[in-house]
Copies of this chain bind each other. A is one copy, B any other.
Amino acid sequence: MRATLMYGAGDVRVEDVRDSRIEQPTDALVRITASCICGSDLHPYGSMAAEDGPVHVGHEFVGVVEETGAEVSTLNRGDVVVAPFAFSCGACEFCRAGLQTSCVRGGFWDGLAGEGGQAEAIRVPLADGTLASLPVAEDSALMPSLLTLSDVLGTGWHAAVRGGVGPGTSVTVIGDGAVGLLAVLSAKRLGAEQIVLMGRHTARTDLGREFGATDVVTTRGEEGVTAVRDLTGGHGTHVVLEAVGHLPAYEQAYGVVRPGGTISRVGVPQYEEAPIGFGSLFAGNVTLTGGPAPTRAYVDELLPAVLGGEIEPGLVFDATTDLDGVPDGYRRMADREALKVLVRP
């Protein structure tokens, strides 16, 4: 079968590899019908050392179950399924609490040697807990939107939920990538009154307005902080959704959060140490929350909204390619030519 491998920064190749197959009785083998490239894939694409490669890549996919292990009980050959970006047992205390990204048996796809979502097929561990069935045909026109349940919609939703967005709250969203834009959509859906989107790409911020942003701030740093404060009576917003992961985005976040407010991070931090003392979080009783979204937990809640057409998160895809086009898809996303690339293997 064909799969995408990253050999190092800027070096992504599509190659023939050993076919994925059932290895554990709890596995399912899934033929991938739609996948995509993630903003978080751009972090290793920008910095991965060649000695750490090659690795299979891709952690968002929809597909059709081809085969199931002997202990898989809820899935059948032919089921159309979506996979969250982490696999999980569905039974441990963390899964039951809706925190599947902390499953005691689970993990992230990049921790699963020889498997990746930007490929023709994939072995899915803990299939009963991991996969969610979709009541559509594999060629459904809703597929781009359904694919966002895998990561970016659930991640934007997680940011907003953990941030405590609700009716009447004011929200700043930092980042106009797919997650940032779907954080806007999520904040709107949760009842936010004011949604300030910080981003610099007009096509993206226009989509952000379509998703519910009430204001767009194109400046950054001190200038961006001042602009948000000017829009919010001087005090900043109740909630800040940080969907980038770089330190300046975090610094921007505590610059625009209101005293007593919450910063919710879903951009994977590309830093470990950062300011959290009296001058940043403490003095204003600011809460910092967020982490890897348990997108599996949100499927039941978000799927009906997608099926019913209430939301169309698939609008974040502005390019489509087959597997051969994946390397160029990385380049286009890294160069900000494409917002998010859909892959049809």
Contact = CB atoms under 8 A, between A and B. Distances in A.
Contacts of A186: none
Contact of A278 (B260, B272, B285): B272
Contact of A273 (B97, B101, B276, B288): B276
Interface stretch (A8-16, A174-182, A263-271): A263-271
A122 to B, nearest CB: 23
A144 B283 CA distance: 28
B289 A288 contact: yes
A132 interface: no
Given A99-B260, A260-B102, A272 B276 contact: yes
A273 B254 CA distance: 13
* Interface size classification for chain A: 35 or more
Nearest to A284: B102
User: How many chain copies does the complex carry?
Assistant: 2
B291 A285 contact: yes
A265 B291 contact: no
**For the complex, would chain A's binding face be called helix, strand, loop or mixed by DSSP majority?**
mixed
Nearest to A103: B259
Contact of A289 (B265, B287, B294): B287
Contacts of A269: 276-278, 282
A325 to B, nearest CB: 31
A120 to B, nearest CB: 30
Nearest to A247: B277
Interface string A179-212: 0000000000000000000000000000000000
Interface string A230-271: 000001000000000000000000000001100001001101
Contacts of A274: 273-274, 276-277
B292 A282 contact: yes
A286 interface: yes
